[in-house]
Amino acid sequence: MLLPKERILNTTFELFHKQGYNSTGINQIIAEAKVAKASFYQHFSSKENLCLEFLKIRHQFWFEELIKFTSKKNNAKEKVISSFNFLIYMNEKEDFRGCSFLNILSEIQPENTKILTCIQNHKKDLRHYFFEILKEKYVSDHVYLLFESSIIESQMFKSNELIEQSKNIINTLIK
């Protein structure tokens, strides 16, 4: 049996995915996780803190999976193409969920700087990931923008078509 904190987080992952951040209430999480209200507040002082923990775990999981997916590739071009194949894999695995960070970004108020900073850091890490592979700022930023737009387009249309197009662009962009 999972500990209360694990049940809360598992329930949060499911509900944020199905309903979004704003439509998911603490009372619903408590009820569906089958924990006492006191237990919830023992682990998370607010919904914002729960969201920050959710994003922290999602960040770690997502980058571990991305690196695992691309680590067997030998050169920069293969690693970048494999990163886009990772998006296809995640779309199939998560039914075109899209980016949890961008999904939450669309729901928070601009003055929520804690969550905004967490989201910005995730995106900075992704941008840095491509720079570390390509070692050229202009090209790595271009790839980053293709990657981000591929996530949004594939979620919106529930299709990997533009991810495939992005891979074709990368084949001409990276020598």
Which residues, at least 6 apart from 147, have a Cβ–Cβ distance to it below 8 Å? 83, 84, 87, 126, 130, 166
At residue 61, the pLDDT reads: 96
Is residue 7 located within the same domain as residue 79? Answer: no
Mean pLDDT of the chain: 96
The label of the residue with tokens 């695992």 reads 68
- Structural domain boundaries, residue 39: 1-45
Is residue 40 located within the same domain as residue 50? Answer: no
pLDDT beyond 90 at 132: yes
Is residue 82 located within the same domain as residue 140? Answer: yes
At residue 55, the pLDDT reads: 98
Give the Cβ contact number of residue 153 at 10 Å: 17
- Can you give the CATH number for the domain in which 160 is found? 1.10.357.10
Is residue 118 located within the same domain as residue 34? Answer: no
Distance CA 21, CA 25 (A): 8
Is residue 75 located within the same domain as residue 120? Answer: yes
At residue 76, the pLDDT reads: 97
- Can you give the CATH number for the domain in which 34 is found? 1.10.10.60
Is residue 73 located within the same domain as residue 133? Answer: yes
Is residue 103 located within the same domain as residue 153? Answer: yes
Is residue 53 located within the same domain as residue 68? Answer: yes
Is residue 41 located within the same domain as residue 52? Answer: no
Is residue 76 located within the same domain as residue 15? Answer: no
Q: What is the mean pLDDT of residues 46-73?
A: 97
The residue that leads in pLDDT, 148 or 110, is: 148
At residue 106, the pLDDT reads: 95
The single-letter DSSP state of residue 45 is: S
At residue 175, the pLDDT reads: 84
Please count the structural domains in the chain: 2
pLDDT beyond 90 at 1: no
CB 14 within 8 A of CB 58: no
61-85 pLDDT, tens digit each: 999 999 999 999 999 999 999 999 9
What is the crossing angle of helices 47-70 and 113-134, to 10°? 10
Query: Is the pTM higher than 0.85?
Result: yes
Is residue 30 located within the same domain as residue 53? Answer: no
At residue 101, the pLDDT reads: 97
pLDDT beyond 90 at 11: yes
pLDDT beyond 90 at 145: yes
Is residue 146 located within the same domain as residue 62? Answer: yes
Q: What is the mean pLDDT of residues 76-101?
A: 96
At residue 95, the pLDDT reads: 94
